[in-house]
Structure 1
Amino acid sequence: MEEFMWNLKTRRVPWSVLGLWFLGFFFPLHCWAEATGEPEPEVENSLGTFGGSVLLSSNYMFRSISNSNDGPQVQGDINWSHDVGFYAGLWASNTNFGGPGNSMELDPYIGFAGNFGESDFSFDIGYWSYNYPKSAFDLDYGEIYVYVTYTKDKFSITPSVWYAENYFGEDFLDDVSGIAYEVTLAYQFPKNVSASLRVGEQAFDSSFDYLDFVYWDVGIDWAIEDWSIGLRWHDTDGVDPFLASRKLTDGEFVLGITRNF
């Protein structure tokens, strides 16, 4: 299973990473508990809104591991959202993961997002399905995700959790669950420039905990009307050859241009 397998070093995540995640998760909830909110106003019933985006990128990075063999990425997304908070969409990209014969990733998703009353907190809960339609192996799987965001002025902190019951399908780690913890810090500068830092851990069942690894990325984005340009540095700590070759996990800058519509 060559390069589509991930490469994780046999070491545990530093306690500082887990501490950062718990700080990001419980600090917002603590502040929210102290906030007083009023009932949300009624929302007009409608058929919702359609949107989408197209991204051209120098690499396809998933949790700071290249999924395009360090080649360029063309990514598209089309989605629907409703004022009450429901949304659904279809995400697609070229990929060099997903097993022999596969060159595409096709991911439908669905979720619900909103605010906690009139407080500075918001949430996003959903399900993301990863599919490799031309693969010779059964590597399709899904993840349930939960985000909680605390926003104050131009700063935000977002802890999140992604859980997969059968990580990377029946032909990879069958019946082995995986869970990813992340914390993202973001700041909005003038002139539509923003900066963000994300730190995460990908963990597995206890009998496979030697596969756990840390990943992070940091970068800036510049929005120009319906366009945005981003430059990010991606890196990992400890990725074993069982999951991917070392060249796919070494630190790298990635440049991307997005057109929203």
Structure 2
Amino acid sequence: MVVRSAGEARRTRAVPTASIRYEDTSVREVPFRQLRLADFRESRPWREVRSVHGMPHYSGKYASATTGGHVVYESLLELARLLLADFDPEVEGIFAQPCRLAAQVGDRVRHHVPDFLLAMRSGTVRVVNVKPADRLQDPKIVEALAWPGELLQCHGWDYEIWSGADRVLMENVRFLAACRRPGVVPESEVERAWQQVVDGEQLGLAEHRLAGDKPAEEARPPLLALLWSGRLTTDLSRPLSGESVLRRRA
């Protein structure tokens, strides 16, 4: 691995490269064919994300249950994709703005910073670019997103261009996210609910049964925490309600 200054990293290269920033402020340029997931350990986002009053986009930091830390985003659409990644039990690592790609495309060198890199439990890597659907009608945007996809797929990594998800699904996931962080719902209550919940039972009935003599809503947070973690599942394409059917996941 070659360590270079930020200025040197900007020089054009015929060989595709990925430049990565690290917490110690160094920038490392890796030939793309040698790039591995391990290269992103101790890395930081390529750009500094600041939220300034009057900006047309909303940026910020999301407290991720998957990473146990904060992940930056630069728009509400990016935040939505980040929320789904955090909710996905198959995702075990999330890196925002993981690197800056450089490659010869046609007669010039192009640069690109992907929005997210997702490390999957299966061992695969998925790189995600987030763009509103209306912007994908612009040929320049399509071209700018195409060459990184070709480069990544030739490397054996998955590539995704994401423009949004079903509104009901997103509302359900946002609701469940309130219970995403460890300690928000006491672990003893979560385990008690897990031991007692019946496969195929409706959420409302489970709440009443688990609550006993207490108000039914007191039994709701542990069930929601189990839904967030994926130990329980239900049809999230419909609004979450007392009629939602719970399924135990092995």
TM-score range, shorter chain: under 0.3
Taking structure 2 as the reference length, the TM-score comes to 0.24
Q: Indicate the structure whose relative CO is greater, using CA pairs within 8 Å and at least 6 residues apart.
A: 1
**Normalized per residue, which structure has more strand?**
1
Taking structure 1 as the reference length, the TM-score comes to 0.23
**Normalized per residue, which structure has more helix?**
2
